[in-house]
Amino acid sequence: MRGNRKLSMALLYTFLILVSLPIVVAYLWLFASSFSSKLIFGIVPRELTLRNWRFLWSEVKLGLTAFESIWPVTLNSIILAGSITILEVVVSLLAGFALSRMDFPGRNLIMKTTIILHAFPGVALLIALFYVLNFFQLLDSIMGVVLVKVALELPMATWMIKGFYDEIPWELEWAAYIDGCSKFQLWYKIILPQLKPGISAVSIFAFLSGWSEFIYSYTFLFNSEHYTLAVFLKNLIGDFRFLDYGLLAAAGLFYLLPVIVFFLISQKSLMRINFGGIKG
Amino acid sequence: MQYYMQERSLAVSSAKEAAEIYTKKHNSFFAALPFIGPFLILVILFYLIPVILTIAMSFTGMDFTLEWKFKGLANYLKLLGDKNARLVAINTIKYVVITLIINVGFGFVLAVTTAYFIKRENMGLLFQTIWMLPRMTPAVIYALLWLWFLDPTEYGMLNALLGNLFGAPPRDWILTSPMPVVIIANGLIGASLGMVVFSAAIKSIPEAYFHAASVDGATDWDIIRYVVIPFLRWPIMFMTIWQTLSLVTSYEYILLITDGGPLNKSEVWALYSYHKAFGSYEFGYGAAISVVLVAIAVIIALIMLKVFGYDALMNRGKTKV
């Protein structure tokens, strides 16, 4: 019985290692490839070089066309992800409070409509969003992408925050009311400090999804001045795919770095939140 | 006046009542507006109105000039006769069904192995972390990894591996089997979601059930069959419906890896709409294709409300499955 158990555990580990290995190999390749000019068996580095990272200090050239420098592009990505995070956190904190704590007419209607909208992924609305952005003259502007992205993520973020509000005991509020707090003071002084885990969860989620954002930037931004890292890398892949994987790997790794850092810091809470994300 | 009110209610009854009176007084829609207002503006402008606009646009021949040229049902009639659309519809069904099986089935296998069989928590977490990596990775990088893995020369991992092991000549996998590529690439991402959700559910099963079962002489297989699966019925059902919706409507990875090609072989419905709108600038026609997605999404959302109940869905934020 015991030997049997050991054998089946060994089989189990073998299975898990076999299915997980391709993922590990793929990320190792990204790393190895970015620092070498030659790989054997597709993965083992031979000649070490920093040339693949040349986009950090010089222009990348292909024939006569030169790619824009990566630094303004990176700045754009930071602005995009940062604005999404701030706006999404502030708006969902306000709305979550109203939905969790206030009993106003229309509350139920708002909740029900949002739950149906929440099931409704924004990528299917791209054409209409194009029209709306054009109407507000927000096409080809990072702020346009920010507004779209925040609006589409708000239902989920607000629900997450509402869940955190729901767990704060009412007694705190009773006490505050008796002391003559206004609604706004109550929210700002009493409740927000209790919400730290919720705020950090929503911020991490919003930042990562803003940083990774591709499809809206790709569709709504035309001028290379407004490109984000995702669009930049997509164009780079288009041109260098069969020519220079080393360059692509280095640029990819550069773009991936903040995600890995965030992931390692906040792994536990991410595992919980990801449940709500819309990804296939 | 306000102070007076409060003091009076305090005098007559409990703090709770005082708070309730105060709350009622301030619970008009206008009191809530400063809090809910920004949310409403954003969601209405960039979510609700686009849904309505998509439907309205589907009755027009709108192109990149963005003028409303109403032409009734013409787009829908065109869609019925569109041979490509038929191919795309069949692709979509194949893609959704097979990917769904991977998402839920393999997600379940990963959850059971990492959260039930492996008793050392760190080990289980290590494997789960590896599987979460692709999910956290920005779509463009994830696609890059696939493009390298399947590269048509011996530089690609798959070709290098098959070449060294079996001496097989390099193949252009994306060209010869685009659909399996797209399915596996999406399945990998979806399986990790299944894994996280099901693992959480397995961890929440009271230990006593497992003890009782092993005292009764149940094998691991029996435990999975008669303890784990019954407990996971709801999460599994939820995942199935939820993932169906995501799969029908999302196309980012397909756009990045095969772009629907070659010859529409891996084109799916949502991507078809995208290509019509932003490839050939047929906004009206693209909207008509999207309306089908709008309908599917609303139906699935209503099914979810019906099956899981309003309250259960409302509490989803806490993700305690």
User: Taking CB atoms and an 8 Å cut-off, how many pairs form between chains A and B?
Assistant: 326
A127 and B243: CB-CB below 8 Å? no
Higher-confidence residue: B57 or B121? B57
Q: Is residue A43 less than 8 Å (CB to CB) from chain B?
A: yes
Pairwise CA distance, residues B319 & B321, whole Å: 6
How is residue A256 written in tokens? Answer: 């991936």
Segment A169-190 mean pLDDT: 80
> How many other C-beta atoms can be found within 10 angstroms of the C-beta atom of residue A267?
14
The residue with tokens 């994830």 is B142
CATH architecture observed for domain B84-318: Orthogonal Bundle (1.10)
Q: Where are the alpha helices (DSSP H) in chain A?
A: 2-34, 70-101, 107-118, 126-135, 142-166, 170-178, 183-185, 196-212, 215-220, 229-240, 245-265, 267-273
Q: Where are the domains of chain B?
A: 2-57, 84-318
Of all residues in chain B, the one with the smallest CA distance to A111 is B314
**With contact defined as beta carbons under 8 Å apart, do A51 and A37 qualify?**
yes
B138 and A259: CB-CB below 8 Å? yes
Please report which confidence band the pLDDT of residue B110 belongs to, taking 50, 70 and 90 as the band edges: very high
- Name the β-bridge partners of A36: A48
B317 and A115: CB-CB below 8 Å? no
**pLDDT score of B51 more than 60:** yes
The residue with tokens 């109403």 is B70
Please report which confidence band the pLDDT of residue A170 belongs to, taking 50, 70 and 90 as the band edges: confident
Pairwise CA distance, residues B215 & A4, whole Å: 19
Helix or strand (DSSP H, E) at B161: helix B157-166
State yes or no: ipTM above 0.90.
no
Nearest to B136 among A102, A125, A259 (CB): A259
pLDDT digit string (tens) for A42-57?
666 777 778 788 888 8
Segment B283-291 mean pLDDT: 93
Going by C-beta distance under 8 Å and a sequence separation of 6 or more, which residues neighbour residue B135?
A274, A279, B189, B192, B193
CB neighbour class for B90 (10 Å; exposed up to 12, middle 13-18, buried from 19): exposed
Please report which confidence band the pLDDT of residue A89 belongs to, taking 50, 70 and 90 as the band edges: very high
**pLDDT score of A180 more than 90:** no
pLDDT at A240: 77
pLDDT at B319: 35
Pairwise CA distance, residues B208 & B204, whole Å: 11
pLDDT at A262: 82
Pairwise CA distance, residues B157 & B218, whole Å: 43
**Residue A136 phi/psi, 5° resolution?**
-90, 10
**pLDDT score of B260 more than 50:** yes
* Residue B45 with chain A: CB contacts under 8 Å: 132, 147, 151
Distance from CA of B261 to the nearest CA of A (A): 15
Q: Where are the domains of chain A?
A: 2-49, 68-276
Q: Is residue A259 less than 8 Å (CB to CB) from chain B?
A: yes
* Residue A270 with chain B: CB contacts under 8 Å: 132, 136
Segment B117-145 mean pLDDT: 89
pLDDT digit string (tens) for A3-61?
677 888 888 899 999 999 989 988 988 888 888 877 666 666 777 778 788 888 877 77
pLDDT digit string (tens) for B152-204?
887 788 888 888 888 888 888 888 899 999 999 999 998 998 998 899 889 88
B130 and A230: CB-CB below 8 Å? no
pLDDT at B310: 66
> What pTM was computed for the model?
0.86
pLDDT at B20: 62
Q: What percent of chain B has pLDDT over 90?
A: 36
Pairwise CA distance, residues A183 & B5, whole Å: 17
CATH topology of domain A68-276: MetI-like fold (1.10.3720)
Q: Which of A75-79, A144-148, B145-149 has the lowest mean pLDDT?
A: B145-149
pLDDT digit string (tens) for A192-208?
888 888 888 889 889 98
> How many other C-beta atoms can be found within 10 angstroms of the C-beta atom of residue B287?
28
A273 and B255: CB-CB below 8 Å? no
